[in-house]
Chain A
């Protein structure tokens, strides 16, 4: 799980 940074989902 990517916590910080850019999000892939809209």
Chain B
């Protein structure tokens, strides 16, 4: 494992923990999109179908369990916790899941390396991860209410994506036959979706101001 891959995994982990800790300690999920969190739970559930069948390393298995556990915990908090769920911006978080899930599933059935149940769902999880942040970005635009933690959450997710791209570039030049179009294109698209948000994030950080998105 190279340093970019490890940094990517750690920022990904940090993003999820920041969100979980925020919800757990301040008992509020204001500004957090449940739609995005449910999509991430689906992403991990469909990607890690191999968790008990294909052993790669203790690190991999452990991280998979952490991502599955944390994403489902966040969804549970937002839907079922008697205090947290009251702070959920239900009326603003109106993005429909199936607008993203159905096209990703269809695309995964057309574009895949092998037409099998696991391969199609694995490809589906890559496509869905690429667009899963959209309900969150829409919610931010609507409420324009971004506390520091929500901003940091999205910033860390973006950093994770950027590190993974460096990881792929590194592996492309250091490992023979390392060419994987599907995750690369899905990953590149996902990183681009953060570009706009990053612009405003850095702008507010540079001017030492609270992050505000334009209407």
The answer to whether A and B assemble together is no
